[in-house]
A and B are shown apart, each in its own frame.
Chain A
Amino acid sequence: MVTAVAEDDALWAAVADPTRRRVLDALLERGEATTTILAEGLPVTRQAVAKHLAVLNRVGLVAGQRRGREVRYAVRPERLDDASEAMARVAAQWDRRLARIKRLAESVQAEAESISNPTRRVQ
């Protein structure tokens, strides 16, 4: 099951990479392009470009369309959303991280208490 949290993390991981951002840049400039065309303008192999496109495709940032023997990729601008949401995203991300920290810490605490009751503190 893909949760909203996992999906957002995946989106994040997808754009955190400089090569993938360059792939996005190149696609935005050209409108659409094949893996081969993209590889010509980037200092990476065609195979690497294909892998990066697969990551971007998985999170919905790009979409491929088959034209005969080749697949042409384009950015899906709707996925990029409104720039003004960036800070809200950062806040939401920290909320999720804090929620995970809380879960982890509380399970560590509960475990420690069940082992060495009544001592509350663990090392």
Chain B
Amino acid sequence: MAADSVEREILIEASPEVVWGVITEPEQISRWFSDEAEVEGRAGVDGTLTWKPGGRGGDKELDSIVPIRVVVAEPFRRFSFRWNHPQGAGPDESNSALVEFSLTEEADRTRLRVLESGIDAVTHDDEGKARYLQEHEHGWEKHLGEMLDYVASKPRVAAR
């Protein structure tokens, strides 16, 4: 496992079909992930995840809109997507993180694994970091990490 990847799993008392619905249907995605989701559980589909710190029905100006592209959608078994690429750009290894879900039936339950990799895809060197700061329009947790690095590299003028 690469240094910039994270793998987690959980055992769920439900069939893979049910779990599949929860991780791929937009109305379900908005209950465990973003506040709003426009995406389909179909390979190649581009969509968006939207976080609304202003609350639902709140100020749209505050929204964070994150691009997502479904890579693999093998019903009840595998679902993966790339996200956090720059708006309008095609996602690839250099500009996005990859999230891969795998579902395995165990007796009457489902083991759900998630692997996120390429978390610092755009921040591996100074040039990448500078590019990220200029070009990356939307982000998430990895951007928090990026921001933390960035802040750590700055003189703490704000520290009082």
Residues of A with Cβ closer than 8 Å to B?
10-18, 21, 24-25, 27-32, 48, 51-52, 55, 58, 74-77, 80-83, 85-87, 89-91, 93-95, 97-102, 104-106, 108-109, 112, 120-123
What's the dominant secondary structure at chain B's contact region?
mixed
Q: Is the CB of A89 within 8 A of B114?
A: no
Task: Among A11, A16, A109, point to the contact of B13 (Cβ < 8 A).
Answer: A109
Count contacts between A and B, CB distance < 8 Å. 162
CB distance from B38 to the nearest CB of A (A): 16
B39-47, B88-96, B150-158 - interface stretch:
B150-158
Q: Is the CB of A28 within 8 A of B144?
A: no
Task: List 9 tightest A-B contacts by C-beta distance, closest first.
Answer: A86-B145, A109-B14, A100-B32, A16-B64, A83-B148, A105-B14, A13-B51, A98-B10, A75-B158
CA distance A121 to B18 in the complex (A): 8
Residues of B with Cβ closer than 8 Å to A?
4, 6, 8-10, 12-15, 17-19, 21-23, 28, 31-33, 51-54, 59, 61-64, 66, 108, 110, 112, 114, 116, 119, 133, 136-149, 151-152, 154, 156-160
